[in-house]
């Protein structure tokens, strides 16, 4: 049972989550490796796939969505889990009273759930370092706006115990016969 943890990241936070999931799977006795989606051409060596991406402006990073659509047949044939790395800060509910993790579910997840029938999906809190060089025009232009700064508090909010627990649940499901 060889597991691929494929990810799309812009600033590295999602890569860290993917590496952590792969490590937890290996710790549970399953061969697993984390790889950027752009490095993966062929899913044949893998029996199961965990696919993750960062959320920006309510959307999953395009590379993750493109990967999911491109490999939809192989993915639909395997146990698949989706995750998103998104909300920043520690608030449990947003200004509208909605659960922050639910509100951060990327817009693409409805389509991808219908396409891939994942065994599970999870939104994890992310990380943001405003001192890191901006990537892309939109980030460069919006970074210094007060509204953008308020919406993107600086810090590493990744919830390692939640990530480990999710990965252990995946391992248990795969070990019990997939």
Ligand X SMILES: Cc1cc2nc3c(=O)[nH]c(=O)nc-3n(C[C@H](O)[C@H](O)[C@H](O)COP(=O)(O)O)c2cc1C
d(CA 126, CA 170): 20
d(CA 177, CA 133): 45
Closest-CB residue for ligand X?
126
Measured CA distances, 31 to 2, 48, 96 (Å): 5, 11, 42
* Least Cβ distance, residue 84 to ligand X (angstroms): 7
Q: Does 105 bind ligand X (CB under 6 A)?
A: no
* Residue window 49-88: x/- pattern of binding to ligand X, with contact defined by CB under 6 A: -----xxxxx--------------------------xxxx
Q: Does 10 bind ligand X (CB under 6 A)?
A: yes
* Least Cβ distance, residue 29 to ligand X (angstroms): 28
Q: Does 139 bind ligand X (CB under 6 A)?
A: yes
109 or 128: CB nearest ligand X = 128
* Least Cβ distance, residue 60 to ligand X (angstroms): 10
CB 53 within 8 A of CB 63: yes
> According to CB under 6 A, which one of 5, 127, 163, 171 is a site residue for ligand X?
127
d(CA 111, CA 34): 24
d(CA 53, CA 77): 21
Q: Which residue has the tokens 């989706």?
A: 82
Stretch that binds ligand X, among 89-97, 109-117, 123-131, 170-178 (CB under 6 A): 123-131
Q: Does 11 bind ligand X (CB under 6 A)?
A: yes
* Least Cβ distance, residue 88 to ligand X (angstroms): 5
d(CA 100, CA 90): 9
d(CA 46, CA 31): 10
Q: Which residues bind ligand X (CB under 6 A)?
A: 9-14, 54-58, 85-88, 104, 126-128, 139, 152
């Amino acid at each position: 049972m060889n597991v691929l943890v494929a990810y799309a990241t812009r600033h590295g936070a999602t890569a860290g989550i993917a590496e952590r999931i792969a490590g937890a799977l290996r710790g549970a006795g399953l061969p697993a490796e984390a790889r950027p989606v752009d490095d993966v051409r062929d899913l044949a060596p893998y029996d199961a796939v965990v696919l993750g991406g960062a959320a920006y402006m309510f959307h999953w990073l395009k590379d993750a969505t493109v990967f999911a659509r491109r490999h939809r047949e192989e993915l639909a044939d395997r146990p698949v889990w989706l995750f998103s790395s998104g909300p920043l800060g520690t608030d449990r509910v947003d200004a509208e009273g909605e659960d922050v993790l639910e509100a951060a579910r990327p817009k693409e997840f409805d389509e991808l759930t219908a396409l891939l029938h994942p065994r599970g999906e999870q939104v994890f809190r992310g990380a943001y370092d405003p001192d890191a060089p901006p990537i892309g025009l939109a980030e460069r232009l919006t970074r210094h706006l007060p509204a953008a700064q308020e919406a993107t508090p600086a810090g590493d909010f990744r919830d390692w115990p939640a990530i480990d627990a999710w990965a252990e649940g995946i391992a248990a499901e795969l070990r019990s016969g997939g």
